[in-house]
Chains A and B, each alone.
Chain A
């Protein structure tokens, strides 16, 4: 699993990345009440706002950790935003992207670097 300093995680399976927010992020945000996901087929550049997660109090953007095209979204979390709190790196994933520039992966943090960032 790779991470961004903005608290997204990414897991690669061939050229498709599954993306969500980290356990640290969901804890900081608190109970989520709304998740807005992108449409399948939409392309995002690395760092572009691709999804929205909202707690009772505030909205936060989720950025695309790398460039690519949305190939799937997790409709379950749209109906049950609390799933992102309960299982942020499991059933609470947000979207999958077919990545267009694998070299961008090198810029992401590994587990150790991300843990150090949030310590």
Chain B
């Protein structure tokens, strides 16, 4: 069998001891030792999240607050707009938005969540990119924006159709929240920042809190029979089925938001003719791509057989020998679909759902079909 193990000096989240106590298998991930699965295993954890409520420790993700010295949030909101192609100045209090840091070439430095907390902005960024992101902000934000990177905070995600019911036992206020709402709520006597969002395609919440509260909250939530702890293994299969991008796989500094089919994150106000058109890094490239199209696009892929097709697999237009037309960037097994699923980049002309392509796995040509994303319906509470 191929190699099973590796070791290194790794950081711990505030919930590390909880994972060990639950019998989690811990693996290195983005500089942290994280639970990849608990004893029940990836398949049960994935299905539990879709059927009930899954509890995830995502404290490895970066939390950064941006605060205006002036006291006027518009000052930092406008300043942040010179890093991202989103409408931050128009982001209402207690609302959150998905966007990305772009570079001068139109590539993606990181994807992130931004929420308006009234007197500050809260950014949640990828674990592996938080040093890059913080460096970028420190180097280029005006001096009247105070930047704080929270190293000791925790982030819990409660995801699934029963998430609202479970969390409402701690505070009924969550019932009135919609997808992407953010509120400061008292949970177990402590003030936490709660967002109705997540990265599984399910309805659910992300709870930002201090290290000590996180441990108490984690245990309280797990006492609810609807809740099970879920590791990074199922987190990845859930997000892939939901058609969501993984930074470093589907997104990187050479991939533009338009190629990645994330143009929906760029509102009219930042597009040509908009009040705050352009300004963000790579705007010229990205806005030109919006206008004239891109040569390649991110698509969903459904292998015809049972064999999973993994990241890095080449894609071909036809079975006979030829140069690859693209490649798979995320691939694995869609547990809810009981079938392999993947995402990859293909020529725009071939990005139409139903198009038959080929890949090569261990020297064998295998057919797969371009598929609409997401693979499973997203169940966000929008109304």
Using a CB–CB distance below 8 Å, which chain A residues touch chain B? 6-8, 21, 25, 28-31, 33-34, 36, 52-63, 82, 85
With known contacts A21-B1, A34-B307, A62-B1, A57–B332 Cβ distance under 8 A: yes
Q: Are B310 and A59 in contact (CB under 8 A)?
A: yes
Q: Which residues of A contact B275 (CB under 8 A)?
A: none
Binding site for A on B (CB under 8 A): 1-2, 4-5, 25, 36-37, 41-44, 46, 233-234, 236-237, 306-308, 310, 332-333, 335, 340, 362
User: Which of B1, B234, B308 contacts A34 (CB under 8 A)?
Assistant: B308
Distance between Cα atoms of A62 and B4 in the complex (Å): 12
Residues on B with C-beta less than 8 A from A29 are: 4
| In contact, B333 and A28 (Cβ under 8 angstroms) | no
Residues in B neighbouring A34, C-beta threshold 8 A: 306-308, 333, 340
Of B2, B43, B310, B340, most A-chain CB atoms within 10 Å: B2
Q: Say what secondary structure dominates the interface of chain B.
A: mixed
A57 and B42 contact, Cβ closer than 8 Å, known pairs A34-B307, A36-B307: yes
**Cα of A71 to Cα of B362 in the assembled complex, Å:** 23
In the complex, what distance in Å separates the CA atom of A55 from the CA atom of B307?
Answer: 11
A35 to chain B, nearest CB (A): 9
Given A33-B308, A33-B333, A54-B308, A60 contacting B1 (CB threshold 8 A): yes
Min CB distance B293 to A, Å, is 34
Tell me the total A-B contact number using a CB cutoff of 8 A.
Answer: 69
Q: Contact between A56 and B1 (Cβ–Cβ < 8 Å)?
A: no
By Cβ-Cβ distance, the 10 closest A-B pairs, closest first, are A33-B333, A31-B43, A56-B42, A7-B1, A28-B4, A31-B41, A60-B2, A6-B1, A56-B333, A31-B42
Partner of B307 from the list A7, A54, A57, A62 (CB cut-off 8 Å) is A54
- In the bound complex, what is the Cα–Cα distance between A82 and B47 (angstroms)? 15
- Contact (Cβ within 8 A) A8 B1: yes
Other than the known A28-B25, A52-B362, what 6 A-B pairs have Cβ atoms closer than 8 Å? A33-B333, A34-B306, A54-B333, A56-B333, A57-B36, A59-B308
A6 (CB) vs chain B CBs: closest residue: B1
Expressed in whole angstroms, the Cα–Cα distance for A80 and B165 within the complex equals 35
Inter-subunit contact A25/B42 (CB<8 Å): no
A30, B42: Cβ atoms closer than 8 Å: yes
A25 contact set on B, CB distance < 8 A: 1, 4
CA distance A53 to B2 in the complex (A): 10
Which residues of chain B come closer than 8 Å to A59, judged between CB atoms?
308, 310
How many whole Å from A22's CB to the nearest CB in chain B?
Answer: 9
Contacts of B42 in A (CB 8 A): 30-31, 55-57
Which B residues lie within 8 Å of A7 (CB)? Answer: 1, 4
The contact sample of 30 A-B pairs, CB cut-off 8 A, is A8-B1, A28-B5, A29-B4, A30-B25, A30-B41, A30-B42, A31-B41, A31-B42, A31-B44, A33-B335, A34-B306, A34-B308, A36-B307, A36-B362, A54-B307, A54-B333, A55-B42, A56-B46, A56-B233, A56-B236, A57-B36, A57-B42, A57-B233, A57-B236, A57-B237, A57-B332, A60-B2, A60-B4, A61-B1, A62-B1
Chain A hits for B362, CB < 8 A: 36, 52
Closest to A82 in B: B43
Q: How far is the CB of A64 from chain B (nearest CB, A)?
A: 12
Contacts of B308 in A (CB 8 A): 33-34, 54, 59
